[in-house]
Amino acid sequence: MEFGLFCNNRRPERTLGDAWDEDIFEIVTADRLGFHEAWLSEHQAPAELIICKAAGQTKQIRFGSAVRPVAYYHPLQVALEANATDQLTGGRYMLGVGFGFYPKNMEWRGLDFEKTRDMMHASIELMLKLWHGAPEPVDYDGPFWKGHQMILQAEPVQKPHPPIAVAVNLTTSTAELAGRNGFIMLTNDFISPTRMRGFAEAMVEAAKQAGRTACRKNIRACRVIYVAETDQAARDVMRDNYNRVIKWEIVNTPHHQTERIPAGGTLEDITFDYLCDTGNLFIGSPDTVTGMIETYYEQTGGFGTLLFHAGRDYTTREQWARSAQLFMEEVAPRVRHLEPDAASPLAAAAAELASTAA
């Protein structure tokens, strides 16, 4: 298992520049501690802008957009910017694409929100044509975009293109898209273990149907994680700030919280301590957080990378850095061995017994 960040920049009490600087601080800290990757949301501006700034302050961590709502842009432009970002990061870039969920963002651009999913699929199709057809020019005459003799003037470092990821939050059809194409599957912190397992199984089955090797290592799981010396210390640090986050989420993104509602309750019944008690937030001592990760891993069927939900003012800089350090020193070594594509010990023993009997 690898570890990374999902920088879902939501710091409403800061200016954008200050908020992005905080994201970069977390990324630089993660790079120093040995985290493998950092995925950045596109809210007010493309993540690639922040990625390129952060790349100059880091050495090894990989970067991904999480995600580019590709219906907003001509696919040629997205592919060109992906190649340019791959060059500027020295081959450390991954292109994350997705659907987007705010209808207003489509309306502002004079686009039909109801066609967003179809546009995403068409965009991916054209970008793959451009990458796999290079250096030959590509003609395209589709329902959403057209282009004549298109050429990607900027080449990527990673060939034939940077790794592609797709956000999977609502429908299994997108998980199947990831499986068919060998894409990384990005999931968010609010997805239940049951839904996560369903997406993973759909991705694996689609990969098999497409003749690909099913690869759960491509799955990115995400959770809010905070580690302190004791469970009480960890909760005490996080409680007030996270309860404020809950209130903000209920007002601004209530659709993300529906699976967190207590049985028979409402959105207003979601509290920080309830989310900790039910294992939705991985908050506690190294032993507690290790156990939560192992439980979630088993419930979901396994994944390749666990992402810290970041980009929020959950704690101070110093507390965040201390938590990340404790995690990498005391939690990561105990779960790093988890390999989602390896046969389980029971399956391996059964296969060996069958072979011997034959």
Name the class of domain 2-66+168-357. alpha beta
pLDDT of residue 350: 39
Yes or no: say if 11 and 313 are a contact pair by the CB < 8 Å rule. yes
Calculate the alpha carbon distances from 86 to 48, 91, 153, 157, 333 in Å.
10, 5, 13, 6, 30
What does the DSSP 8-state code read for residue 350? H
| Region of poorest pLDDT, from 33-37, 73-77, 104-108 | 104-108
pLDDT of residue 255: 85
H/E stretch holding 225 reads strand 225-227
Q: How confident is the model at residue 351 (pLDDT cuts 50, 70, 90)?
A: very low
pLDDT of residue 349: 43
Q: Around Cβ 122, how many Cβ atoms within 10 Å?
A: 19
Dump pLDDT digits (tens) for 112-165: 889 999 999 999 999 999 999 989 999 999 999 999 999 999 999 999 999 999
Yes or no: say if 12 and 305 are a contact pair by the CB < 8 Å rule. no
Calculate the alpha carbon distances from 326 to 29, 35, 198, 230 in Å.
13, 13, 32, 11
Yes or no: say if 310 and 19 are a contact pair by the CB < 8 Å rule. no
Whole-number percent of the chain with pLDDT over 90? 86
Write down the domain spans for the chain: 2-66+168-357
**What number is the average pLDDT over the span 66-87?**
97
Query: Distance (Å, rounded) from C-alpha 221 to C-alpha 142?
Result: 34
Give Dmax (Cα) for the chain.
68
Is 164 strand, coil or helix? Answer: strand
Dump pLDDT digits (tens) for 160-209: 999 999 999 988 999 999 999 999 999 999 999 999 999 999 999 999 99
pLDDT of residue 230: 98
Would strands 219-223 and 68-69 be described as parallel, antiparallel, or unpaired? unpaired
Query: Distance (Å, rounded) from C-alpha 41 to C-alpha 287?
Result: 30
- The pTM (predicted TM-score) of the whole model is 0.92
Q: Is the pLDDT of residue 348 over 60?
A: no
Whose tokens are 């432009």? That residue is: 77
Q: Pick from 233, 211, 97: which is nearest to 162 by CA?
A: 97
